[in-house]
Structure 1
Amino acid sequence: MIESDLYHYFASIGINEQQQRQAVTGVFDTADIDTIQKLCQKEKMHLRYESIGKNESKEITKLTYEQLCNSLKKGIYQVAFSIYRQGKDWKSLSMADQGFEKPAYLHLKGDKNYLELAAREMKAMTKGGAMLSGHIQTVKCRSSKDVLTDFPIQDKKIQIPFEDFEFEQLSETEITGQIQLFMTSSVGKKRMPESMATLILKI
Protein backbone atom coordinates (compact mmCIF):
# COMPACT_ATOMS: atom_id res chain seq x y z
CA MET A 1 0.00 0.00 0.00
CA ILE A 2 2.79 2.43 0.93
CA GLU A 3 4.71 1.49 -2.23
CA SER A 4 1.71 2.23 -4.46
CA ASP A 5 1.19 5.55 -2.66
CA LEU A 6 4.81 6.46 -3.41
CA TYR A 7 4.38 5.65 -7.09
CA HIS A 8 1.27 7.86 -7.11
CA TYR A 9 3.19 10.65 -5.39
CA PHE A 10 6.09 10.63 -7.86
CA ALA A 11 3.69 10.47 -10.80
CA SER A 12 1.81 13.50 -9.42
CA ILE A 13 4.99 15.61 -9.39
CA GLY A 14 5.92 14.70 -12.96
CA ILE A 15 8.40 11.82 -12.56
CA ASN A 16 8.15 9.51 -15.59
CA GLU A 17 7.51 5.78 -15.27
CA GLN A 18 11.11 4.76 -15.91
CA GLN A 19 12.42 6.96 -13.11
CA GLN A 20 9.66 6.13 -10.62
CA ARG A 21 11.11 2.71 -9.73
CA GLN A 22 14.50 4.24 -8.96
CA ALA A 23 12.89 7.02 -6.92
CA VAL A 24 10.74 4.61 -4.89
CA THR A 25 13.70 2.33 -4.20
CA GLY A 26 15.78 5.32 -3.13
CA VAL A 27 13.14 6.47 -0.66
CA PHE A 28 12.84 3.03 0.93
CA ASP A 29 16.64 2.85 1.23
CA THR A 30 17.03 6.25 2.92
CA ALA A 31 13.81 6.99 4.87
CA ASP A 32 11.95 5.19 7.63
CA ILE A 33 8.37 3.96 7.19
CA ASP A 34 6.87 6.70 9.41
CA THR A 35 8.47 9.43 7.29
CA ILE A 36 7.26 7.79 4.07
CA GLN A 37 3.71 7.53 5.41
CA LYS A 38 3.71 11.22 6.37
CA LEU A 39 4.97 12.17 2.90
CA CYS A 40 2.22 10.19 1.19
CA GLN A 41 -0.45 11.51 3.55
CA LYS A 42 0.53 15.13 2.88
CA GLU A 43 0.31 14.54 -0.87
CA LYS A 44 -3.11 12.93 -0.52
CA MET A 45 -4.38 15.93 1.45
CA HIS A 46 -3.10 18.32 -1.24
CA LEU A 47 -4.75 16.32 -4.00
CA ARG A 48 -7.96 16.09 -2.02
CA TYR A 49 -7.99 19.85 -1.46
CA GLU A 50 -7.45 20.55 -5.15
CA SER A 51 -10.43 18.34 -6.05
CA ILE A 52 -12.87 19.95 -3.60
CA GLY A 53 -15.50 22.03 -5.34
CA LYS A 54 -14.72 20.68 -8.81
CA ASN A 55 -18.16 19.32 -9.57
CA GLU A 56 -17.13 17.90 -12.92
CA SER A 57 -15.99 14.85 -10.96
CA LYS A 58 -18.97 12.51 -10.72
CA GLU A 59 -17.71 11.18 -7.39
CA ILE A 60 -18.00 14.50 -5.56
CA THR A 61 -21.40 15.20 -4.03
CA LYS A 62 -22.54 17.72 -1.44
CA LEU A 63 -23.70 16.38 1.91
CA THR A 64 -25.86 18.18 4.43
CA TYR A 65 -25.00 18.25 8.11
CA GLU A 66 -28.12 16.20 8.85
CA GLN A 67 -27.25 13.54 6.26
CA LEU A 68 -23.77 13.11 7.68
CA CYS A 69 -24.86 12.97 11.31
CA ASN A 70 -27.44 10.31 10.49
CA SER A 71 -24.65 8.08 9.18
CA LEU A 72 -22.26 8.57 12.12
CA LYS A 73 -22.48 6.97 15.54
CA LYS A 74 -22.11 9.00 18.72
CA GLY A 75 -18.63 9.06 20.17
CA ILE A 76 -15.27 10.82 20.10
CA TYR A 77 -13.17 10.31 16.98
CA GLN A 78 -9.61 11.21 16.05
CA VAL A 79 -9.67 13.01 12.69
CA ALA A 80 -6.97 14.24 10.31
CA PHE A 81 -7.00 17.83 9.10
CA SER A 82 -4.89 20.39 7.26
CA ILE A 83 -5.09 24.18 7.10
CA TYR A 84 -4.43 25.77 3.71
CA ARG A 85 -3.62 29.29 2.62
CA GLN A 86 -6.11 31.20 0.53
CA GLY A 87 -5.49 33.48 -2.41
CA LYS A 88 -2.81 32.73 -4.98
CA ASP A 89 -1.13 30.23 -2.64
CA TRP A 90 -4.29 28.25 -1.89
CA LYS A 91 -2.52 24.95 -2.66
CA SER A 92 0.05 25.53 0.09
CA LEU A 93 -0.28 24.77 3.77
CA SER A 94 -0.81 27.80 5.98
CA MET A 95 1.59 28.51 8.82
CA ALA A 96 -1.46 28.01 11.05
CA ASP A 97 -1.32 24.31 10.14
CA GLN A 98 1.55 24.11 12.62
CA GLY A 99 -0.47 25.92 15.28
CA PHE A 100 -2.67 23.00 16.34
CA GLU A 101 -1.98 19.50 17.62
CA LYS A 102 -2.77 16.63 15.28
CA PRO A 103 -5.02 14.75 15.11
CA ALA A 104 -8.07 16.79 16.12
CA TYR A 105 -11.00 15.28 18.02
CA LEU A 106 -14.53 15.13 16.66
CA HIS A 107 -17.11 14.99 19.45
CA LEU A 108 -20.50 13.61 18.42
CA LYS A 109 -22.90 13.78 21.34
CA GLY A 110 -26.19 14.16 19.51
CA ASP A 111 -27.25 17.42 21.14
CA LYS A 112 -23.78 18.98 20.75
CA ASN A 113 -21.40 18.06 17.96
CA TYR A 114 -18.10 19.87 17.53
CA LEU A 115 -14.49 19.67 16.36
CA GLU A 116 -11.94 20.26 19.10
CA LEU A 117 -8.55 21.71 18.21
CA ALA A 118 -5.68 22.01 20.69
CA ALA A 119 -3.35 24.97 20.15
CA ARG A 120 0.41 24.50 20.30
CA GLU A 121 3.53 26.59 19.77
CA MET A 122 4.51 27.13 16.16
CA LYS A 123 7.75 28.33 14.61
CA ALA A 124 8.55 30.23 11.42
CA MET A 125 11.74 31.35 9.69
CA THR A 126 12.02 34.94 8.47
CA LYS A 127 13.58 35.81 5.12
CA GLY A 128 16.58 37.04 7.07
CA GLY A 129 17.06 33.63 8.66
CA ALA A 130 15.74 34.46 12.14
CA MET A 131 13.57 31.88 13.90
CA LEU A 132 10.30 33.18 15.35
CA SER A 133 7.95 31.31 17.64
CA GLY A 134 4.48 31.99 18.95
CA HIS A 135 0.92 30.69 19.01
CA ILE A 136 -2.55 31.26 17.59
CA GLN A 137 -4.21 34.08 19.54
CA THR A 138 -7.69 34.51 18.06
CA VAL A 139 -9.89 32.43 15.75
CA LYS A 140 -12.97 33.40 13.76
CA CYS A 141 -14.88 30.99 11.54
CA ARG A 142 -17.18 31.68 8.61
CA SER A 143 -19.92 29.06 8.79
CA SER A 144 -21.67 27.29 5.92
CA LYS A 145 -24.47 29.84 6.45
CA ASP A 146 -21.99 32.69 5.86
CA VAL A 147 -21.98 33.79 9.51
CA LEU A 148 -18.69 34.97 11.03
CA THR A 149 -18.24 33.90 14.66
CA ASP A 150 -15.47 34.40 17.22
CA PHE A 151 -14.41 31.24 19.04
CA PRO A 152 -12.50 31.68 22.30
CA ILE A 153 -9.39 29.63 23.02
CA GLN A 154 -9.85 28.19 26.51
CA ASP A 155 -7.18 25.99 28.12
CA LYS A 156 -5.43 26.02 24.73
CA LYS A 157 -8.48 24.44 23.08
CA ILE A 158 -11.08 25.66 20.62
CA GLN A 159 -14.43 24.08 19.78
CA ILE A 160 -15.92 24.60 16.31
CA PRO A 161 -19.55 23.49 15.82
CA PHE A 162 -19.69 20.58 13.40
CA GLU A 163 -22.75 22.04 11.69
CA ASP A 164 -20.72 25.08 10.59
CA PHE A 165 -18.70 22.95 8.14
CA GLU A 166 -19.51 22.32 4.49
CA PHE A 167 -19.35 18.63 3.60
CA GLU A 168 -18.51 16.79 0.39
CA GLN A 169 -18.29 13.10 -0.41
CA LEU A 170 -15.32 12.48 -2.69
CA SER A 171 -15.87 8.73 -2.99
CA GLU A 172 -17.60 5.90 -1.16
CA THR A 173 -14.98 6.01 1.59
CA GLU A 174 -13.85 9.66 1.58
CA ILE A 175 -15.78 12.54 3.11
CA THR A 176 -14.35 15.97 3.83
CA GLY A 177 -15.54 18.98 5.76
CA GLN A 178 -14.23 22.48 5.21
CA ILE A 179 -14.53 25.82 6.93
CA GLN A 180 -12.98 29.24 6.45
CA LEU A 181 -10.85 30.57 9.31
CA PHE A 182 -9.61 34.05 10.20
CA MET A 183 -6.75 33.96 12.69
CA THR A 184 -4.21 36.13 14.43
CA SER A 185 -1.00 34.85 15.95
CA SER A 186 1.93 36.11 17.98
CA VAL A 187 4.30 35.11 15.14
CA GLY A 188 5.01 38.03 12.81
CA LYS A 189 2.10 40.04 14.18
CA LYS A 190 3.30 43.32 12.67
CA ARG A 191 3.44 41.78 9.18
CA MET A 192 0.14 39.90 9.23
CA PRO A 193 -2.26 40.81 12.06
CA GLU A 194 -5.02 38.56 10.66
CA SER A 195 -4.76 35.83 8.05
CA MET A 196 -7.43 33.85 6.21
CA ALA A 197 -7.19 30.10 5.63
CA THR A 198 -9.32 27.03 4.97
CA LEU A 199 -9.42 24.05 7.30
CA ILE A 200 -9.98 20.74 5.50
CA LEU A 201 -11.20 17.91 7.69
CA LYS A 202 -11.03 14.24 6.69
CA ILE A 203 -13.96 12.30 8.15
Structure 2
Amino acid sequence: MAKSTMSRHLAVLKQMDIIKDEGKLTLTDHGKELAKRYEEESVLLQKWFGQYLPECSEQDKHDSAQNMVVALTPDFKAKMLEKIADMVQKNSMYDQIDSRGTLEFKDIVEYMVPGDYPVAFVIQKTEQSKDDSPFSMADRGFEHPAVLNVSQDGTGVLTLKPVTIERRNLMEKIFYSGKLMKLEYETKSDVFVPAEGEDGRYEIPADALQYTYHKEERQMIGSVKLKMYALLANKQLHVRTAALSILMHGFW
Protein backbone atom coordinates (compact mmCIF):
# COMPACT_ATOMS: atom_id res chain seq x y z
CA MET A 1 0.00 0.00 0.00
CA ALA A 2 1.35 3.42 -0.96
CA LYS A 3 2.37 5.79 1.83
CA SER A 4 -0.11 8.43 0.61
CA THR A 5 -2.97 5.90 0.76
CA MET A 6 -1.96 4.85 4.27
CA SER A 7 -1.89 8.50 5.34
CA ARG A 8 -5.40 9.06 3.99
CA HIS A 9 -6.69 5.98 5.88
CA LEU A 10 -5.08 7.15 9.12
CA ALA A 11 -6.57 10.63 8.67
CA VAL A 12 -10.06 9.13 8.28
CA LEU A 13 -9.60 7.03 11.42
CA LYS A 14 -8.55 10.13 13.35
CA GLN A 15 -11.60 12.04 12.11
CA MET A 16 -13.81 9.13 13.28
CA ASP A 17 -12.17 9.37 16.73
CA ILE A 18 -10.88 5.80 16.47
CA ILE A 19 -7.14 6.50 16.78
CA LYS A 20 -5.03 9.32 18.18
CA ASP A 21 -1.41 10.34 17.61
CA GLU A 22 0.48 11.08 20.81
CA GLY A 23 3.95 10.33 19.60
CA LYS A 24 2.63 6.94 18.57
CA LEU A 25 -0.69 5.80 17.21
CA THR A 26 -3.07 4.41 19.85
CA LEU A 27 -6.77 3.68 20.05
CA THR A 28 -9.05 6.26 21.59
CA ASP A 29 -11.64 5.17 24.17
CA HIS A 30 -14.18 5.08 21.34
CA GLY A 31 -11.73 3.06 19.25
CA LYS A 32 -11.26 0.55 22.07
CA GLU A 33 -15.02 0.13 22.47
CA LEU A 34 -15.38 -0.33 18.72
CA ALA A 35 -12.58 -2.92 18.62
CA LYS A 36 -14.16 -4.81 21.51
CA ARG A 37 -17.56 -4.83 19.80
CA TYR A 38 -16.04 -5.98 16.51
CA GLU A 39 -14.24 -8.81 18.30
CA GLU A 40 -17.48 -9.95 20.03
CA GLU A 41 -19.34 -9.82 16.71
CA SER A 42 -16.54 -11.74 15.01
CA VAL A 43 -16.60 -14.47 17.68
CA LEU A 44 -20.38 -14.82 17.29
CA LEU A 45 -20.09 -15.14 13.52
CA GLN A 46 -17.32 -17.73 13.85
CA LYS A 47 -19.54 -19.82 16.14
CA TRP A 48 -22.33 -19.57 13.59
CA PHE A 49 -19.98 -20.61 10.76
CA GLY A 50 -18.79 -23.51 12.90
CA GLN A 51 -22.35 -24.80 13.40
CA TYR A 52 -23.40 -24.56 9.76
CA LEU A 53 -20.07 -24.83 7.92
CA PRO A 54 -18.00 -27.26 10.01
CA GLU A 55 -15.95 -28.23 6.96
CA CYS A 56 -14.41 -24.73 6.74
CA SER A 57 -11.02 -24.10 8.32
CA GLU A 58 -10.67 -22.00 11.46
CA GLN A 59 -8.66 -19.44 9.47
CA ASP A 60 -11.40 -19.12 6.83
CA LYS A 61 -14.05 -18.65 9.50
CA HIS A 62 -11.93 -16.05 11.29
CA ASP A 63 -11.09 -14.08 8.14
CA SER A 64 -14.67 -14.17 6.83
CA ALA A 65 -16.06 -13.02 10.17
CA GLN A 66 -13.55 -10.17 10.37
CA ASN A 67 -14.51 -8.99 6.89
CA MET A 68 -18.23 -9.14 7.59
CA VAL A 69 -18.20 -7.11 10.80
CA VAL A 70 -16.57 -4.15 9.07
CA ALA A 71 -18.27 -4.44 5.68
CA LEU A 72 -21.95 -4.56 6.70
CA THR A 73 -23.95 -1.44 7.46
CA PRO A 74 -24.64 -0.98 11.19
CA ASP A 75 -28.45 -1.34 10.97
CA PHE A 76 -28.34 -4.41 8.77
CA LYS A 77 -25.58 -5.98 10.86
CA ALA A 78 -27.49 -5.39 14.10
CA LYS A 79 -30.61 -7.11 12.75
CA MET A 80 -28.63 -9.98 11.28
CA LEU A 81 -26.54 -10.57 14.39
CA GLU A 82 -29.65 -10.56 16.59
CA LYS A 83 -31.06 -13.47 14.58
CA ILE A 84 -27.70 -15.24 14.42
CA ALA A 85 -27.25 -14.94 18.21
CA ASP A 86 -30.66 -16.59 18.68
CA MET A 87 -29.73 -19.39 16.27
CA VAL A 88 -26.36 -19.97 17.94
CA GLN A 89 -27.96 -20.04 21.39
CA LYS A 90 -30.64 -22.49 20.29
CA ASN A 91 -28.17 -24.75 18.53
CA SER A 92 -26.07 -24.85 21.70
CA MET A 93 -29.23 -25.66 23.66
CA TYR A 94 -30.10 -28.49 21.26
CA ASP A 95 -26.69 -30.08 21.81
CA GLN A 96 -26.92 -29.73 25.59
CA ILE A 97 -30.42 -31.08 26.16
CA ASP A 98 -30.15 -33.83 23.55
CA SER A 99 -27.72 -35.72 25.78
CA ARG A 100 -29.83 -35.58 28.96
CA GLY A 101 -32.55 -38.14 28.20
CA THR A 102 -35.71 -37.47 30.19
CA LEU A 103 -35.96 -33.80 31.10
CA GLU A 104 -37.69 -31.78 33.79
CA PHE A 105 -39.25 -28.38 33.16
CA LYS A 106 -36.40 -26.69 35.05
CA ASP A 107 -34.01 -28.12 32.43
CA ILE A 108 -35.71 -26.32 29.55
CA VAL A 109 -37.24 -23.18 31.05
CA GLU A 110 -33.86 -21.42 31.13
CA TYR A 111 -33.98 -21.40 27.32
CA MET A 112 -37.48 -19.92 27.15
CA VAL A 113 -38.53 -16.28 27.19
CA PRO A 114 -41.35 -15.52 29.67
CA GLY A 115 -44.74 -15.35 27.97
CA ASP A 116 -47.55 -17.45 26.50
CA TYR A 117 -46.77 -20.28 24.09
CA PRO A 118 -49.55 -22.00 22.11
CA VAL A 119 -48.83 -25.74 22.08
CA ALA A 120 -50.36 -28.55 20.09
CA PHE A 121 -51.46 -31.52 22.17
CA VAL A 122 -52.99 -34.97 21.89
CA ILE A 123 -54.78 -37.11 24.50
CA GLN A 124 -54.45 -40.85 24.06
CA LYS A 125 -56.04 -43.79 25.82
CA THR A 126 -54.14 -45.71 28.45
CA GLU A 127 -56.82 -48.41 28.77
CA GLN A 128 -58.24 -51.00 26.41
CA SER A 129 -61.54 -50.09 24.73
CA LYS A 130 -64.00 -51.62 22.29
CA ASP A 131 -63.10 -49.33 19.37
CA ASP A 132 -59.78 -49.28 17.56
CA SER A 133 -58.95 -45.61 17.99
CA PRO A 134 -55.93 -44.86 20.19
CA PHE A 135 -57.25 -41.37 20.88
CA SER A 136 -59.33 -40.53 23.89
CA MET A 137 -62.66 -38.79 23.36
CA ALA A 138 -61.21 -36.12 25.66
CA ASP A 139 -58.90 -35.12 22.79
CA ARG A 140 -61.96 -33.33 21.37
CA GLY A 141 -63.04 -32.15 24.79
CA PHE A 142 -60.62 -29.23 24.94
CA GLU A 143 -59.95 -26.18 22.84
CA HIS A 144 -56.88 -26.52 20.61
CA PRO A 145 -54.15 -25.40 21.02
CA ALA A 146 -53.43 -25.37 24.74
CA VAL A 147 -51.41 -22.51 26.23
CA LEU A 148 -48.15 -22.87 28.13
CA ASN A 149 -47.43 -19.79 30.22
CA VAL A 150 -43.84 -19.23 31.37
CA SER A 151 -43.42 -16.74 34.23
CA GLN A 152 -40.50 -14.48 35.08
CA ASP A 153 -39.69 -16.65 38.11
CA GLY A 154 -39.11 -19.72 35.93
CA THR A 155 -42.36 -21.51 36.69
CA GLY A 156 -44.85 -22.61 34.06
CA VAL A 157 -48.53 -23.50 33.78
CA LEU A 158 -50.28 -25.48 31.04
CA THR A 159 -53.87 -24.27 30.55
CA LEU A 160 -56.60 -26.38 28.96
CA LYS A 161 -60.01 -24.94 28.12
CA PRO A 162 -62.80 -27.55 28.07
CA VAL A 163 -65.45 -27.46 25.35
CA THR A 164 -68.77 -29.26 24.92
CA ILE A 165 -68.60 -32.53 22.99
CA GLU A 166 -71.53 -33.50 20.80
CA ARG A 167 -72.06 -37.04 19.61
CA ARG A 168 -74.85 -38.42 17.46
CA ASN A 169 -76.52 -41.72 18.26
CA LEU A 170 -77.29 -43.13 14.82
CA MET A 171 -79.74 -45.69 16.17
CA GLU A 172 -81.85 -43.17 18.06
CA LYS A 173 -81.09 -40.29 15.67
CA ILE A 174 -80.44 -37.88 18.51
CA PHE A 175 -77.46 -35.86 19.69
CA TYR A 176 -75.83 -36.27 23.05
CA SER A 177 -73.68 -33.51 24.44
CA GLY A 178 -71.47 -33.31 27.47
CA LYS A 179 -68.60 -31.49 29.08
CA LEU A 180 -65.80 -32.55 31.37
CA MET A 181 -66.80 -32.21 35.02
CA LYS A 182 -63.43 -32.66 36.66
CA LEU A 183 -59.80 -33.12 35.65
CA GLU A 184 -56.92 -34.48 37.68
CA TYR A 185 -53.25 -34.88 36.77
CA GLU A 186 -50.66 -37.30 38.10
CA THR A 187 -47.86 -35.79 40.17
CA LYS A 188 -44.29 -37.01 40.39
CA SER A 189 -45.40 -38.77 43.60
CA ASP A 190 -47.75 -40.97 41.52
CA VAL A 191 -50.91 -39.47 43.02
CA PHE A 192 -53.67 -37.65 41.16
CA VAL A 193 -54.57 -34.10 42.25
CA PRO A 194 -57.21 -31.72 40.87
CA ALA A 195 -56.26 -29.38 38.02
CA GLU A 196 -57.79 -26.11 39.11
CA GLY A 197 -58.00 -22.82 37.29
CA GLU A 198 -60.14 -19.78 36.55
CA ASP A 199 -63.14 -19.27 34.22
CA GLY A 200 -63.69 -23.00 33.85
CA ARG A 201 -60.16 -23.64 32.61
CA TYR A 202 -57.89 -26.34 33.96
CA GLU A 203 -54.32 -25.56 34.92
CA ILE A 204 -51.51 -28.11 35.19
CA PRO A 205 -48.08 -27.08 36.54
CA ALA A 206 -45.50 -27.42 33.79
CA ASP A 207 -43.17 -29.27 36.15
CA ALA A 208 -45.77 -32.05 36.49
CA LEU A 209 -44.91 -33.14 32.95
CA GLN A 210 -41.89 -35.15 31.89
CA TYR A 211 -40.13 -34.00 28.72
CA THR A 212 -38.08 -35.63 26.03
CA TYR A 213 -36.26 -33.99 23.15
CA HIS A 214 -35.78 -35.32 19.62
CA LYS A 215 -32.85 -33.49 18.08
CA GLU A 216 -33.51 -34.67 14.53
CA GLU A 217 -36.95 -33.02 14.44
CA ARG A 218 -36.10 -30.35 17.04
CA GLN A 219 -39.25 -31.46 18.78
CA MET A 220 -39.82 -31.24 22.53
CA ILE A 221 -42.57 -33.48 23.89
CA GLY A 222 -44.05 -33.17 27.37
CA SER A 223 -46.29 -35.87 28.85
CA VAL A 224 -48.46 -36.39 31.91
CA LYS A 225 -51.20 -38.82 32.87
CA LEU A 226 -54.72 -37.46 33.38
CA LYS A 227 -57.84 -38.69 35.11
CA MET A 228 -61.12 -37.32 33.74
CA TYR A 229 -64.64 -37.30 35.12
CA ALA A 230 -67.71 -36.83 32.90
CA LEU A 231 -71.37 -37.85 32.80
CA LEU A 232 -72.44 -40.37 30.18
CA ALA A 233 -75.70 -40.21 28.27
CA ASN A 234 -77.27 -42.44 30.95
CA LYS A 235 -76.19 -39.88 33.56
CA GLN A 236 -73.68 -42.26 35.11
CA LEU A 237 -70.30 -40.84 36.13
CA HIS A 238 -67.58 -41.88 33.69
CA VAL A 239 -63.98 -41.94 34.99
CA ARG A 240 -61.08 -42.64 32.65
CA THR A 241 -57.33 -42.16 32.62
CA ALA A 242 -55.47 -40.97 29.54
CA ALA A 243 -52.05 -39.66 28.54
CA LEU A 244 -51.66 -36.01 27.55
CA SER A 245 -48.73 -35.13 25.30
CA ILE A 246 -47.86 -31.58 24.29
CA LEU A 247 -45.76 -30.87 21.20
CA MET A 248 -43.36 -27.94 21.52
CA HIS A 249 -41.88 -27.26 18.12
CA GLY A 250 -42.14 -23.68 16.86
CA PHE A 251 -40.05 -22.08 19.63
CA TRP A 252 -37.25 -24.66 19.64
- TM-score, length-scaled by structure 1: 0.63
Distance 1:91 1:146, change over 3 A: farther
- 2: CA distance between counterparts of 1:168 and 1:174? 8
Asked if 1:124 is matched to 2:167, the reply is: yes
The unaligned stretches of length 5 or more in structure 2 are 1-97
Within a 5 Å distance, the mapping from 1:75-90 to structure 2 comes to 75-88=115-128
Shift in Å at residue 95 of structure 1?
Answer: 0.6
1:113 positional shift: 1.1
**Which residue does the alignment assign to 1:165?**
209
Task: Measure the CA separation in 1 of the matches of 2:118 and 2:134.
Answer: 24
Measure how far apart 1:157 and its partner are: 0.7
Change (3 A) 1:133 1:64: same
2:192 and 2:227 in contact (8 A); partners too = no
Residue in structure 1 matched with residue 245 of structure 2 by the alignment: 200
Instruction: String of CA shifts for 1:54-77, please: whole Å, max 9, x gaps.
Output: xxxx99931122111122221111
Q: Is the 8 A contact 1:59 1:170 kept in 2?
A: no
Q: Could you state the TM-score of these two structures normalised by the residue count of structure 2?
A: 0.52
| Percentage of identical aligned residues | 23
Does residue 104 of the first structure (1) align with residue 149 of the second (2)?
no
> In the comparison of the two structures, how many residue pairs are matched?
146
**Cα distance, 1:107 vs. partner?**
0.2
User: CA 1:66 to 1:91, structure 2 compared with 1: closer, same or farther past 3 Å?
Assistant: farther
Distance in structure 1 (CA, Å) of the matches to 2:233 and 2:188: 30
Written as runs of structure 1 = structure 2, the 5 A alignment for 1:1-203 is: 61-88=101-128, 92-111=134-153, 112-126=155-169, 128=171, 130-152=174-196, 154-172=198-216, 173-188=218-233, 190=235, 193-203=238-248
Gaps spanning 5+ residues in structure 1: where?
1-57
Structure whose alpha-carbon radius of gyration is higher: 2
Give the whole-Å Cα distance in 1 for the aligned partners of 2:140 and 2:100.
Answer: 28
Letter in 2 for 1:151: A
Q: Can you list the C-alpha shifts for 1:98-125, whole angstroms capped at 9, x where unaligned?
A: 1110011110003341001111111234
- Which structure dedicates a bigger proportion of its chain to helix? 2
**Higher normalized contact order (CA 8 Å, seq sep 6+, divided by chain length):** 1
For residues 34-55 of structure 1, what are the alpha-carbon distances to aligned partners after superposition, in whole Å with 9 as ceiling and x for unaligned?
A: xxxxxxxxxxxxxxxxxxxxxx
